[in-house]
Amino acid sequence: MKSDDLNEQFEKWQLQLRKGVLIYMVLALLNKQEMYGYVLISALSEKLGADMAEGTIYPLLNRMVRSGILTFDWRIMESGPARKYYQISKTGRQLLKRMRDHWQDVSAGLQELDDV
Amino acid sequence: MSDTGNSTFTQQQAQTIWSAYMRKVEGLCGSLDNRQKADILAELKAHLLESFIQLDDGDEETRISAAIAKLGKPEDFVPLWVEERLLEGAQPGSSTRNLFFLLRSNALRGVQQFAFTMIVGFGYMMSFYFFIMAVMKVFFPQNVGLWLSPSGIPFMGYVDADEFREVLGYWLTPIGLVTAVLLQLFLNYLVRQWVTHFKR
C-alpha cells in the first residue's frame, strides 16, 4: 500500500472514531461541570487533538438536548452576550455509565489482541 | 471593538465580515420561527465573540476572520442545526408549518423519502380539498356536494348539471370539516413518526 493510501485509510478511520466518541466525550466533559458552547468545544478540540470546524458541534448538542441527555439554560452575563450553559441530565449520566462500561470492555478486548 | 454585546467593531472591515457572516447564517435559518432563529444567532454570536476575544493576536479584521474560520462555513453546519430545531417542532402539538419544512428538507434524501413526501403531500392536499368543499357548500349549496354520477361513481366537487345525485346534502359541511381536521392530524402524526425514525 502506498504511503498516501495508508494516510488516507488512517484518516478515514480516525474520523470515524472521532465521530463515534464525540457524544461520549461531551457527556464526560459535562459530567465534570456545566459548560457553555465555546468552552465545551474548545475542550473537545483539545482532547481530540484535532482541528475541527467548531460549528459542527452545535447540531450535535442540539440533538443531545432533544434526546433528553442534556439540558441547557441561557444566562445573562454582566458584560458581553448571554451564554447558553449545557448540563448533563439524569438520563445522560445513565447513558455515560453504560458507555464507560462498554468502552472498558472494548479497550480490554483490544488490549488482549495486542498482547497476543 | 467598542461594544462586544452589540457586536460593534471599531474597524469597518471587521464589522463588514461579521455582518456578512451573520446574514448568511440568518438566511440559512429561514424555515425556523423567530424564537428558534434568535436562539441560533445568539449562540453563534456568543461563540464568535468569545473566540474573537481569546484570539489576541492581530487587528480586529484578522481576529474576526480567524474566529469565523475556526467556526466553519455556515452552509457546512447551519442546515443540520436548522433540521434539529425543526425536529424539536415535530413534537405533538407543533405546527404543520414546521412539519412541512422538515418534509421538504428530507424529500431529496432518497427514493423512500421522496415517495413518502409525495404521498403525504397528496394527503395534505386532500385535507385542504375537504376543507374547501365544506366551506363552499355553505355558499353554493346547489352546486357543491358529494355526488354520484349516472354510472354510480362518487366524487366531491362543483357540478352544474342535473344528472348527478347528491349524497350528503348539508352534512357535507360538518363531515368535510371533521375529515379535514382528522386527516391533517393523522398526517402530522405520520410525518413526526417518519422524520424521527430517520433521524434516530
Give the gap in angstroms from C-alpha B103 to the nearest C-alpha of chain A.
18
- Contacts of residue A62 in chain B, CB cutoff 8 Å? 81, 84-85, 88
* pLDDT on residue B200: 47
Percentage of residues in chain A with pLDDT exceeding 70? 96
Distance CA B1, CA A96 (A): 41
B4 touches chain A (CB under 8 A): yes
Say if the Cβ atoms of A58 and B87 lie within 8 Å: no
CATH class for domain A3-115? Answer: mainly alpha
pLDDT of res. B5: 45
Q: How far apart are the first and last CA of chain B?
A: 43
For B4-33, write each residue's pLDDT tens digit. Answer: 445 468 888 999 999 999 999 999 998 788
Q: Is the pLDDT of residue B183 over 90?
A: yes
Q: What percent of chain A has pLDDT over 90?
A: 58
pLDDT at B88 over 80: no
Q: Is the pLDDT of residue B96 over 80?
A: no
pLDDT over 80 (residue A95): yes
Separation of alpha carbons A59 and A61, rounded Å: 5
Cα of A104 to nearest chain B Cα, Å: 25
CA–CA gap between residue A68 and residue A62 (Å, rounded)? 10
**Contacting residues for B70 by C-beta, under 8 A, at least 6 apart:** A53, A54, B51
Question: Which residues contact residue A91 at a Cβ distance below 8 angstroms, ignoring those fewer than 6 apart?
Answer: A68, A69
Average pLDDT over residues B184-188: 88
Say whether pTM exceeds 0.90.
Answer: no
Q: Is the pLDDT of residue A103 over 50?
A: yes
Strand partners of residue B147: B155, B166
Rounded to two decimals, the ipTM of the complex is 0.84
Q: Is the pLDDT of residue A16 over 90?
A: no
Residue A80 CA from chain centroid, whole number: 27
Cell of B75: 452552509
pLDDT category of residue B58 using cuts at 50, 70 and 90: confident
Query: What strands, in cross-sheet order, belong to the sheet with A35-36?
Result: A35-36, A83-88, A70-75
Residue boundaries of the structural domains of chain A: 3-115
Q: Are A80 and B81 inside 8 Å of each other by CB?
A: no
Nearest-CB residue to A66 (from B47, B71, B88): B88
Residue A35, C-alpha cell as written in the block: 459548560
Interface mutation target, options B3, B43, B45, chain A, most CBs of A under 10 Å: B43
